Structure 1
Amino acid sequence: MCGFCGFTGDIADRENIIIGMMNKIIHRGPDSAGTHSDEDVTMGFRRLSIIGLEDGSQPMYNEDGSIVICFNGEIYNYQPIKEMLIEKGHVFKSHADTEVLIHLYEEKGEEMLNDLRGMFAFAIYDMKNKKLFAARDFFGIKPFYYGVFNNHMLFGSEIKSFLAFPDFKKEVNTVALENYLTFQYSVLDETFFKGVYKLKPGHYLVYKDGKIDIKRYFQPKFEPEKAGLQDTIKKIEDVMLDSVKTHKISDVEVGSFLSSGVDSSFVAATFKGDKTFTVGFDYEKYNEIGYAEKLSEKVGIDNYSKIISTDEYWDSLGKIQYHMDEPLADPSAVALYFVSKLASKHVKVALSGEGADEFFGGYNIYREPMDLQITRLIPKPLRKGIAAIMKALPFRFKGKNYLIRASMDLEDRFIGNAKMFSEKERERILKNPTGKYNHKEITKPYYDFTKGQDDVTRMQFIDLNLWMVGDILLKADKMSMANSLEVRVPFLDKEVFEVARHVQPDYRVNREATKYAFRMAAKDYLPEEVASKKKLGFPVPTRVWLKDEKYYNIVKTAFQSEAAQKYFNTDKIVKYLDDHKNGKADNSRKVWTIYMFLVWYNQFFGNEEKEAC
């Protein structure tokens, strides 16, 4: 919907400073701009008009001008909330959902958040109480960053807006780098920019008298309940159809992304829109366009597609990492950038399938507890002994990794959908390792919260809180907004989660399929082969490219650069690259993780900051 930025406290030339900050995020809202500035707080807003086209400009105020808000997102149940507030005497001046938030805050204060159904990040300044109140939605669909610099609290939708603030100190957080190398995304609360933090999903922040107080208002929790399969399928079907319908509320046309997976296919088949959008690569095994065209034809909607050439992909990497704000080593982010760019030529809003895997148990790795079940008959000391022998063997063979993982407890082997470098590996490649943190220190609070539950539920909870927020939703927001497109995610809905959290484990993952009950619900809307299709993700041929002389040399140059020498033992990282090229090991994901950091670093800390947007 938009982007916002702001800072507290008085400063010389504050009106021009906020305009400079807003210009850094103009891609988030090219339709209009607005500011509020006084000696206590200054706010800037860039608008992408979706709801309340004529009267939804921000910052927006209450009746007496004592409360001001900047809001990014959509409140899907704003109409019934508005009716309730009108009955209580509140007077509305617009048709926008933003104004509902102002009056709901007047009515309920910080207790307002659980009334909402939607995706949101907002900042409200209460002038009478001299208080800034900010919140992020239940699952982290919309971003919110903050930090205190020279007694000014900065806040906004993107970190890059902070760069235009005169007292902002731009410095790499090396602890973030160290943990990124393990997780492939920025996993800590403190970002890659030292002193800048992410507000966690389901949390709100109050800034008053120079102090920040952060509290949780929503805690997702899986509580499986025994139920009949058909009843479960019916509940999933009903809540998903309602959510897709609700996510179409808009004053502009809504389209849908479409890959070959069951998630986006279900959304595309049920959203009753006119346009779907698909991208593929110029490699046969990495192209889903043919499938998307067939499904679109079957359900009677138009499909728009684009082939991403290899050179296009590589040429876009700098821009991708700039828009991401923090390095992300997920190769599919580029595909999301290009499908967003394609969709933005036709619509302002697109639906997408993020969240289905975390809610309903879709990732293939969730089958591992079943696959390892037989090994639990072997005493643990013996399993560990076998694993030690396997690790000592210098060659690879089928089953080696299986035997190693069989010796490990869930907390040791699963940190989420990606695990790149172990602590020992990153200690070897980093020039100045800090030792912070062991991955178990990061996952421990989530494993502790789910103690006593089945392994699949615990894995889903890890992904819901870490992987989904740090990777899936980061790229969904940043890649779509880079193209002035709003992406909505019907699976990541409060009402959908209320159904999903009660689904029993064997209806999520079993011998037949992952996401089992959801696939059954989708069968009435999709061809059998689609509803039953194995989870693929968005395939990207990075392992092929990194063996090609042209792209190998591009990465090798980066691995020997001044930036690489600052942070890495370059001989060690070049060896990862060479071993991959020579077929000694598939190091493509590890190589990509390092390379994406260096691309990101060049954008923000190169000789001069790149203006990629």
Structure 2
Amino acid sequence: MCGITGFWNPARTNERELRFTLDQMLDVLDHRGPDERGSKFFLDQGLALGHTRLSIIGLDHGHQPIETRDGDYAVTVNGELYGYKRERTRLACQSLPSDGKSDSAITLPLYLRHGLSFVERLRGEFAIVLYDHREKRLILIRDRFGIKPLYYAVKDDGIVWGSEVKSILKHPSVVPRLCPKAAIHQMMQVMVPGTTAFEGVQAVQPGHMLIVQRVGDRLVTESKRWWDLEFPTSHESGADPQEYVQGVQDRLIDAVATRLEADVPVGCYLSGGIDSCSILGLATTLQQSPVKAFTIAFDSDEYDESNIAKLMADRTGAEQELLRLTEKELYGPAFERATWHAERTFYNTLAVAKWHMSRRVRACNYKAVITGEGSDELFGGYPFFKRDWLGREKGEGGIFAGAILAEEDQLHPAWQDLCGFTPSWIQPWMLTLRAARALLSDELIDLLETYDPIAEVAAAIDPDQVRGRHRLDISQYTWSKTMLEGQILTWGGDRMDMANSMEARPAFLDHHLAEYAVTIPPDIRIRDGIEKWVLREAMVNVLPRELYERKKFAFMAPPAHTDPVKRNAVQEMINHWLTPTRMNELGILNHERVEQFVSQAWRETDGTIARRNDILMNHALQLHMLQGQYVEGMPLPTVD
């Protein structure tokens, strides 16, 4: 697990200049790889590859960039490639030995053997940048779900890339500037796939590769999809549920066993949900020694599930590390630091909690944990999936309302045309956009006259992958192509984990399990109204009875409106960041409108509206933090 960055500027071939630029870009990725730093230059091309290493596999022999002996091919890899020993042995039998014992060392010989299709042989979570000097071709590759990040900026004089946007912004050709359209999307929470908060900086999309070819003095880019989460156009009727229960069980055991392999200890994140408890239960059986489990506890019974997590820890004999968080940890300096790492806004301070947790993991001398992300996406675990298929339930909402469920049905023509309905997962964010509109500056209100952010998100979805599919499949697919990558795996995953040099391994997103999960009929994924039924049955002997019978719980941090102390902590940040001068300079929000909104928000008694108000305040604060941190160059605060 590492950080990768670099650039290709054909007209710039001065070695001193190239080294100076790359060093600056690597400096801001030190948190991703504090164990070692490496670089490779093709001076005649103006091309530089950089790498910061977090050593987890091949501790003493994993230096990067990796290159062939003739120097014509070089690669940098961020992530984990599972099954590499078997692949390395297979390559050796084909007279294509890999130079090195690390998992990353298989990439170049696989490329030399299979060309661009080599990526289809990789299992794991990864971002790869490979340069073929003979073909004058650069390839940027991202894993199937986008677990590992990879960004790029195409400029007139070349291309710049990095594991995080902050490294790209250190290149002299890239001017840090927040994008007004992206700001609107952040206020409503949903980004357009492939975009970032910054003008001119894009993300390589999950399951895609960006191919950069030199043609004369120009660089020509082409994006190519190599994998997708593809649901069938029809499902087997009257299928035997037990067949699928066994199929899920077998593949999940294999996915967890695969992710326990490392040259350092591997722990588990443990909430009170089915997903992480299943992971811990399987890991405990697979390992000879007790597993270390890391749990977050909040100071609100409505949002805390650490009591369920303790049941699971006790059942498995795991050594549980419990981290209790209050407003002191969730706001102030930690909130600002989490924003810098996220590089975009987040609606809930769960991101800050995850930052604290990864710091605790590292303090316990662990570099890797297995996590439960992806289970809800594969097995229909979120309440909006159930709503899209089965309709509204009586009394539905609770603490979900205003955050992940809309209290009123919303329709949008672009989504109606794409899906035949407007997915429930985007409906609360449509209401958030409506509320945010009243806070925007006049310039952005004018922009909304010609720019429809809801339609732009819909336009980024491949219509061939949703038309003719079951409603549940459509809902799961569209969420996975937007919010899984843009939210759960970024500010809720990689960015907060790697902020403290800690690797997360989401076992449910193993592609062998995922490709099987999409074939499971909807009435087995959700059965008799029970979400993730097939997973529950697969794990019935692993989970405590209390958890097996429990409905989906919202894993979120308590919003500010739930506690006067938290409200005061947010107000302190508002007083510092949302001043007339700062807001006028950024030009995204109108100060008078925001000031009036905040005043009214603290008096709101409707829980649904109060949750939405909290979301808007978080986004407003973070837009101005991003402006200060990345555009104005303000130093980061120290966190005790």
For the criterion TM > 0.5, the same-fold answer is yes
The equivalent position to 2:129 in structure 1, one of 123, 131, 136, is 123
Within 2, Cα distance between the matches of 1:406 and 1:35?
A: 51
The match for 1:482 is 499
Work out whether 1:238 is the aligned partner of 2:255.
Answer: no
Instruction: List aligned pairs for 1:563-574, cutoff 5 A.
Output: 563-565=582-584, 566-574=587-595
The offset of 1:22, in angstroms, is: 0.7
Q: Deviations over 1:160-202 (max 9, x none)?
A: 11232222211111111112222x1533423211111100001
The match for 2:616 is 590
The match for 2:75 is 69
Instruction: List aligned pairs for 1:501-512, cutoff 5 A.
Output: 501-512=518-529
Partner secondary structure for residue 331 of structure 2? helix
The offset of 1:255, in angstroms, is: 0.3
Deviates more, 1:600-609 or 1:352-361: 600-609
Partner secondary structure for residue 170 of structure 1? coil
Within 1, Cα distance between the matches of 2:155 and 2:348?
A: 31
Retained in 1: the 8 A contact 2:193–2:205? Answer: no
Retained in 2: the 8 A contact 1:412–1:440? Answer: no
The equivalent position to 1:463 in structure 2, one of 475, 479, 482, is 479
The match for 1:495 is 512
Partner secondary structure for residue 484 of structure 1? coil
The match for 1:207 is 212
1:598 alignment partner AA: H
Retained in 1: the 8 A contact 2:351–2:496? Answer: yes
The match for 2:398 is none
Partner secondary structure for residue 164 of structure 1? coil
1:3 alignment partner AA: G
Within 2, Cα distance between the matches of 1:538 and 1:200?
A: 26
* Distance verdict in 2 for CA 1:185–1:401, change over 3 Å: closer
Instruction: List aligned pairs for 1:76-115, cutoff 5 A.
Output: 76-115=82-121
1:605 alignment partner AA: V
Partner secondary structure for residue 271 of structure 1? helix
The offset of 1:304, in angstroms, is: 0.7
Partner secondary structure for residue 508 of structure 2? coil
The equivalent position to 1:538 in structure 2, one of 546, 550, 555, is 555
The offset of 1:552, in angstroms, is: 4.8
The equivalent position to 2:440 in structure 1, one of 416, 425, 430, is 430
* Distance verdict in 2 for CA 1:14–1:501, change over 3 Å: same
Retained in 2: the 8 A contact 1:372–1:406? Answer: no
Retained in 2: the 8 A contact 1:350–1:486? Answer: yes
The offset of 1:403, in angstroms, is: 6.1
**RMSD (CA atoms):** 2.5
Work out whether 1:599 is the aligned partner of 2:625.
Answer: yes
Instruction: List aligned pairs for 1:394-433, cutoff 5 A.
Output: 404-405=409-410, 411-412=421-422, 414-416=424-426, 419=429, 421=431, 424-431=434-441, 432-433=443-444
The equivalent position to 2:457 in structure 1, one of 428, 432, 442, is 442
The match for 2:397 is none
The match for 1:23 is 27
Within 1, Cα distance between the matches of 2:78 and 2:125?
A: 8
Partner secondary structure for residue 429 of structure 2? coil
Within 1, Cα distance between the matches of 2:312 and 2:166?
A: 39
Deviates more, 1:261-270 or 1:221-230: 221-230
1:360 alignment partner AA: F
Retained in 2: the 8 A contact 1:74–1:118? Answer: yes
TM-score after normalising by structure 2: 0.87
The match for 1:8 is 8
Within 1, Cα distance between the matches of 2:589 and 2:321?
A: 43
TM-score after normalising by structure 1: 0.90
The offset of 1:607, in angstroms, is: 5.9
Work out whether 1:192 is the aligned partner of 2:209.
Answer: no
Work out whether 1:222 is the aligned partner of 2:240.
Answer: no
The offset of 1:237, in angstroms, is: 0.6
Within 2, Cα distance between the matches of 1:411 and 1:191?
A: 27
* Distance verdict in 2 for CA 1:244–1:160, change over 3 Å: same
Within 1, Cα distance between the matches of 2:412 and 2:592?
A: 32
Retained in 2: the 8 A contact 1:447–1:458? Answer: no
Partner secondary structure for residue 429 of structure 1? coil
Work out whether 1:332 is the aligned partner of 2:332.
Answer: no
* Distance verdict in 2 for CA 1:404–1:42, change over 3 Å: closer
* Distance verdict in 2 for CA 1:600–1:582, change over 3 Å: same
Within 2, Cα distance between the matches of 1:278 and 1:166?
A: 42
The offset of 1:114, in angstroms, is: 1.0
* Distance verdict in 2 for CA 1:407–1:600, change over 3 Å: closer
Retained in 2: the 8 A contact 1:367–1:510? Answer: no
Partner secondary structure for residue 207 of structure 1? strand
1:562 alignment partner AA: T
The match for 1:524 is 541
The equivalent position to 2:313 in structure 1, one of 289, 292, 296, is 296
2:323 alignment partner AA: K
Deviates more, 1:143-152 or 1:65-74: 143-152
* Distance verdict in 2 for CA 1:96–1:418, change over 3 Å: farther
Within 2, Cα distance between the matches of 1:203 and 1:407?
A: 28
* Distance verdict in 2 for CA 1:500–1:76, change over 3 Å: same
* Distance verdict in 2 for CA 1:250–1:158, change over 3 Å: same
The equivalent position to 1:248 in structure 2, one of 241, 244, 260, is 260
Within 2, Cα distance between the matches of 1:268 and 1:171?
A: 43
Within 2, Cα distance between the matches of 1:154 and 1:542?
A: 38
Q: Deviations over 1:110-166 (max 9, x none)?
A: 111111111110101111111111100011100110112341311110111123222
* Distance verdict in 2 for CA 1:190–1:407, change over 3 Å: closer
Retained in 1: the 8 A contact 2:281–2:543? Answer: yes
Deviates more, 1:415-424 or 1:458-467: 415-424
Retained in 1: the 8 A contact 2:423–2:475? Answer: no
The equivalent position to 1:554 in structure 2, one of 572, 575, 579, is 572
Within 2, Cα distance between the matches of 1:556 and 1:345?
A: 32
Within 2, Cα distance between the matches of 1:194 and 1:264?
A: 37
1:286 alignment partner AA: Y
Q: Deviations over 1:303-325 (max 9, x none)?
A: 01111121111021110010112
1:280 alignment partner AA: A
The offset of 1:369, in angstroms, is: 3.2
Partner secondary structure for residue 206 of structure 1? strand
The offset of 1:561, in angstroms, is: 4.0
Within 2, Cα distance between the matches of 1:102 and 1:201?
A: 21
* Distance verdict in 2 for CA 1:487–1:402, change over 3 Å: closer
Retained in 1: the 8 A contact 2:406–2:424? Answer: no
The offset of 1:531, in angstroms, is: 2.1
Within 2, Cα distance between the matches of 1:180 and 1:588?
A: 14
Retained in 1: the 8 A contact 2:207–2:225? Answer: yes
The offset of 1:547, in angstroms, is: 5.1
Retained in 1: the 8 A contact 2:268–2:280? Answer: yes
Q: Deviations over 1:471-522 (max 9, x none)?
A: 0001210011001001000000110012101111111224431111111111
Work out whether 1:269 is the aligned partner of 2:281.
Answer: yes
The equivalent position to 2:371 in structure 1, one of 339, 352, 355, is 352
* Distance verdict in 2 for CA 1:11–1:175, change over 3 Å: farther
Partner secondary structure for residue 422 of structure 2? helix
Partner secondary structure for residue 551 of structure 2? coil
Partner secondary structure for residue 537 of structure 1? coil
The offset of 1:253, in angstroms, is: 0.8
Question: Percent same amino acid among aligned pairs?
Answer: 26
Q: Deviations over 1:400-447 (max 9, x none)?
A: 976645999664353548516555544432212222234133224355
1:343 alignment partner AA: V
The match for 1:308 is 325
Within 2, Cα distance between the matches of 1:120 and 1:241?
A: 21
Retained in 1: the 8 A contact 2:72–2:133? Answer: yes
Instruction: List aligned pairs for 1:573-584, cutoff 5 A.
Output: 573-584=594-605
